[in-house]
Amino acid sequence: MKPLFIPLKAEHYDAFDDGSKVNEYRLYGPRWNEKNCYPGRPATLSRGYGKKHRLSSTVRDFSRQPVSQLPESVQATMLALYGPGEHDIAVIGINVHRSAHGYVPVRTPGKEVDCGDA
């Protein structure tokens, strides 16, 4: 199963990285819906589109909500992004994978990673 790729602005990536953010909000539509964002699906959080900063994660849950039912701080952001009106928003719950030594790195099939001397 191919992981869901979620590119993020630096501030949102960093919030997932430090654990202060657990949900991603996207405009509901062909890419961000129940069919593609189902619980249990692997996901890759990326700081932008580069390959240097990525977090391995899993979709925890998914819901479709009108902007008016979101927290006020999120409502303001959605209105700034998508304009006035009642838009449906995909609320994607994300669990970032962590190990005893930090994060589980994202592995690219066919690419070897040199971890140095452990």
In a domain, 89, yes or no: yes
Least confident interval from 27-36, 45-54, 107-116: 107-116
In this prediction the pTM is 0.81
In a domain, 117, yes or no: no
Domain, as residue range, for 77: 4-103
- Domains held by the chain: number: 1
Predicted confidence at residue 101, as pLDDT, reads 47
In a domain, 11, yes or no: yes
In a domain, 97, yes or no: yes
What is the b/e burial string over 8-41, where b = at least 16 CB atoms within 10 angstroms of the residue's CB? beeebbeebbeeebebbbbebeeebeeeebeeeb
The pLDDT tens digits for 6-18 are 999 999 999 999 9
In a domain, 115, yes or no: no
Predicted confidence at residue 114, as pLDDT, reads 44
Q: Report the CATH number at residue 39.
A: 2.30.130.30
